[in-house]
């Protein structure tokens, strides 16, 4: 199975909305980095006294077959309101994975071999 790493950057106040989009796309496991500082496309440095808001970064390993559905949902969110335009998402290839699904599959195989 080909896997992709999807990374999403969003203003912190939309964290719950992104949780829902990930769930809708079948993503049950992800990493969320809250309260990140960064500069958006308009030059705003979030996490400063002038722009006190923060960014949230999500990372999820997604089967390649599910990426288009997730991106369609993210694009809909991004274009739904002007306040959502800051959302950024990218897809990177996953060369190897250690843990989570890989570990569960290996554990299951070992359990069957010992019987």
Q: Pick 79 or 1 by higher pLDDT.
A: 79
Q: How far apart are CA 83 and CA 32, in angstroms?
A: 21
CB 59 within 8 Å of CB 5: yes
Say what the pLDDT of residue 16 is. 96
Q: In the predicted model, what is the mean pLDDT of the chain? A: 83
Per-residue pLDDT tens digits for 37-93? 777 667 766 666 666 678 899 999 999 999 999 999 999 999 999 989 989 999 999
Edge-to-edge order in the sheet of strand 88-93: 31-36, 55-63, 3-11, 88-93
Q: Pick 5 or 36 by higher pLDDT.
A: 5
């Amino acid at each position: 199975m080909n896997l992709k790493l999807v990374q999403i950057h969003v203003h912190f106040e939309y964290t719950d909305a992104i949780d829902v989009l990930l769930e809708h796309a079948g993503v049950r496991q992800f990493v969320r980095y809250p309260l990140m500082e960064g500069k958006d496309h308009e030059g705003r440095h979030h996490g400063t006294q002038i722009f006190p808001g923060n960014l949230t970064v999500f990372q999820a390993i997604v089967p390649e077959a599910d990426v288009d559905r997730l991106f369609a949902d993210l694009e809909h969110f991004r274009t739904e309101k002007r306040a959502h335009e800051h959302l950024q998402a990218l897809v990177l290839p996953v060369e190897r994975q250690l843990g989570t699904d890989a570990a569960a599959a290996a554990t299951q195989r070992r359990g069957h071999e010992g019987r």
